[in-house]
Structure 1
Amino acid sequence: MAQGTWMLGMFLVLGSPLRRVEVSLKPEHLGVAWPLTVEGEAGCLVAETKGLRLVAWGQEVLQPDGRRRAIYLLPAAKEAGVQVWRFVKASPPPSPFRFVRHPDGRLELLEGGKPVWVYNFGPQLKEGVAQQYRRADYLHPLYDLDGTVLTDDFPKDHLHHRGLFWAWPEVKVGESTYDPWACQGIHHRFEDWLAQEVGPICAVLGVQGGWYLGERRVVRERVWLWTYRADEVGRILDVALSLEAEDEPVPLRGRSPDKGYGGFTLRFAPCRDASIVTPQGRLAQDGVHVRLPWADFSAHFRADEAFSGAALFDHPQNPHHPAPWLLRYYGVLNPEWPALEWATLERGKPMTLRYRVWIHRGDAQAGRVANAFAVWADPPSVREE
């Protein structure tokens, strides 16, 4: 590894000044765009391949630690081998992203005027549904690349399910156990915005919130979302959750005695011809406690023949990776943590969980889900000169 380079999390960080970068691509890295993080200022990377000029714009993206890192969104490659990128200092193009705040406690993200997702920071309740199911702090709708809604909220079979959400069925405070998964006892509350930023390749949202028992905050929560510009195949949505006990330790776990579900969960909208695909192939039936690095749910979500879907990726540095999963054909992907074991949130020791959502056209094969995971979990080797 060249002098001035080191690994930070899942990213290869390069020393400044950046003049030339060699990227070594394997066959499993092809066909998907991916973010490369480097030290130094953001500008533009340019590569020549077979007479064609490739351009990757950079952006100085805010991180949870308050630092900014230059991230370049490298376009999908068609051939394995070495790409040589050269740094060009240039003014970036306008951002395609825009945040729109609605008066009912919803923050919407648009890309090129098309909806990407809505973050519900204010309490939401569907007409005719009992007050106990009022909830906040989740994404819905989450859209595919063509503007079709992928998620469901207040589904009749599970009224507590809510788009892309994170909640646990068993949370202990003192001698009592509560069920925020089912919107019982503990509720999520928005407190403040940590970031709302847009740039040429990425939109960043940071949120400070808490888990409340009445008016008492028992867990501090920070949520970070990085939404990358879509290409013809897919879009990356990176999520980092930071959880810390306010005062006394807070144990939590998934649904006991045997199911274990809980944590980061994606509930899909009504659809037809659904297919759940994992690294082992297509599932013939629901899966429970299947240890996997990723899973994909694809289907027809609208009347025409267009297929689309979304995959969840469990970060290799998450505890208990690869996680046991709950996979339901009625429309659920859930990498369970901590499943049936107790995990304890403590003051001064934030627990951070990271996931990637890969939203794509077509089924898992057309959407290059396996490649999208590979470029994240085992990224191309990079050398600076």
Structure 2
Amino acid sequence: MYTHTPFLPALMLLSLSLTPVRAQQYITIQSEDLRAAGAPFFIHVETPASADKLVLENTSTGAVLALQPFQGGQMVAILESPLPAGAKHRYVLRKRKRRDPKSTLVKALVENGFVHMRVGDKEALWYALDEQHPGGGLPQHYQRSGFIHPAYSPGGAIVTDDFPAGHAHQHGIFMAWVNTLFQGRKVDFWNQHQETGTVAHWSLDTLISGPVFAEAIVHLRHIALESGPVLEERWSVRLYNSANPFIWEIDSRQLNTSADTLHILEYHYGGLGIRGSASWNPSDSLHFQGEAKMATGKGDTRQAANHTHPGWAALYGPTPKGTAGIAAMEHPANFRYPQAIRVHPTMPYFCFAPMVDGAFDLVPGIPY
């Protein structure tokens, strides 16, 4: 996910080729497409025990890149300058020296019922651990945890909304199914006012801070109010050390932990929802500044983008801190990639909605 001023794309990180590092201390990275500065890239280190003492130094410019251990012997660094298509960067892998510049720390920490994720001292996003309650006399069935809000642009603009005027059941960046059948009954996990289902944060498992990325691993539960938990969902939310734009990703994995199949019926919306800023909501007379515009991987406008399969989509518009936006890019390994998107004609939200192209089942014990 990118958040950026004035405009941005993302849900998939920008990765470069995986490069093994053995006895030789030099690596070369090359990309088939243009890669912007701030994109993460990965190398494989055969001695990961020393990973926290290693850096990469660009042999042409002398730029020193921090490294951070990742998964399976991999390490991750942040591209320090643009890499045009076909171009190469060459680095030497060496031990850290005292004179090397210190990297900005990317942080994930718990404060006041939220996981706060920051690049240096800049807030990037909050994840709601505690149940958030609606104000303004709204019914308590709208209360929710297990979602991201606020998400910020690097300039400090809030580009998401929670309990938005006119659609109080939407919550920043959130996951929920709408038209489902479970144990012979309709269950709607998205529209909380139907009082058949909801989604809630369940556990905080891991917090990582470091010079290259911060990560929060959490578990959520999708609950049928009449029968109890149906799905357990694991989110890995990873924020990279990029100050403009912010680059972060969500890895979502769901498992049906009940004894019965959850049938996701064909419908025009549901899935991963992204609710844009209150500044773009015509129903919010207190905060509205102007309607959001949209860009997609197919070049469609907001009016034409509904139920297309663009791979990425972005909302952007005016805020009290200037033009800002948020974009989401699908990973190619996603189910039914590229998924259809639902784009609301007047309200600032869209969602990745695989059920637009037909029903599917979440079977007990088989991950989604």
Taking structure 1 as the reference length, the TM-score comes to 0.78
Flag as ranges the 4+ runs of structure 1 deviating above 6 A.
Answer: none
Distance 2:224 2:302 in 1: 41
Distance 1:255 1:130 in 2: 29
Q: Answer whether contact 2:65 2:78 (CA < 8 A) is retained.
A: yes
Distance 2:304 2:88 in 1: 41
Q: SS of the counterpart of 1:86?
A: strand
Paired position in structure 2 for 1:135: 144
Distance 1:177 1:283, change over 3 A: same
Q: How does 1:97-246 map to 2 (within 5 A)?
A: 97-103=106-112, 105-127=113-135, 128-183=137-192, 184-214=195-225, 216-232=228-244, 234-246=245-257
Deviation at 1:175, TM superposition (A): 0.6
Paired position in structure 1 for 2:301: 283
- Give a deviation string over 1:275-303, Cα, whole Å, max 9, x none: 2112333516253211111111121122x
Q: Answer whether contact 1:94 1:199 (CA < 8 A) is retained.
A: no
Paired position in structure 1 for 2:8: none
- Give a deviation string over 1:33-78, Cα, whole Å, max 9, x none: 22112222332111133xx3233211013x5xxx563111122316
Matched, 1:85 2:111: no
Deviation at 1:244, TM superposition (A): 0.7
Q: Answer whether contact 2:265 2:360 (CA < 8 A) is retained.
A: no
1:331 pairs with one of 327, 337, 348: 348
Paired position in structure 2 for 1:75: 80
Q: SS of the counterpart of 1:132?
A: helix
Deviation at 1:192, TM superposition (A): 2.1
Distance 1:114 1:48, change over 3 A: same
Distance 1:37 1:133, change over 3 A: same
Distance 1:231 1:98 in 2: 13
Deviation at 1:11, TM superposition (A): 6.5
Distance 1:112 1:252 in 2: 44
Paired position in structure 2 for 1:293: 311
Distance 1:251 1:71 in 2: 37
Distance 1:114 1:282, change over 3 A: same
Q: SS of the counterpart of 2:59?
A: strand
Q: SS of the counterpart of 1:204?
A: strand
Could you tell me which runs of 5 or more consecutive residues in structure 1 were left unpaired when the two chains were aligned.
1-8, 352-385
Whichever residue aligns with residue 229 of structure 2, its letter is: R
Q: Answer whether contact 1:168 1:252 (CA < 8 A) is retained.
A: no
Q: How does 1:15-26 map to 2 (within 5 A)?
A: 15-17=20-22, 19-26=25-32
Q: Answer whether contact 1:312 1:333 (CA < 8 A) is retained.
A: no
Bigger relative contact order (CA 8 A; separation at least 6): 2
Q: Answer whether contact 1:255 1:262 (CA < 8 A) is retained.
A: no
Distance 2:228 2:34 in 1: 47
Bigger share in strand: 1
Could you tell me which runs of 5 or more consecutive residues in structure 2 were left unpaired when the two chains were aligned.
1-13, 281-289
Distance 2:263 2:42 in 1: 34
Q: Answer whether contact 1:254 1:263 (CA < 8 A) is retained.
A: no
Q: Answer whether contact 2:177 2:264 (CA < 8 A) is retained.
A: yes
Paired position in structure 2 for 1:316: 332
Whichever residue aligns with residue 217 of structure 1, its letter is: P
Distance 1:37 1:172 in 2: 42
Deviation at 1:209, TM superposition (A): 2.5
Distance 1:273 1:56 in 2: 40
Select between 203-212 and 134-143 the one with higher mean Cα deviation. Answer: 203-212
Distance 2:222 2:314 in 1: 29
2:34 pairs with one of 11, 29, 33: 29
Q: How does 1:28-67 map to 2 (within 5 A)?
A: 28-40=33-45, 41=48, 42=51, 43-49=54-60, 52-61=61-70, 67=72
Q: Answer whether contact 1:254 1:262 (CA < 8 A) is retained.
A: no
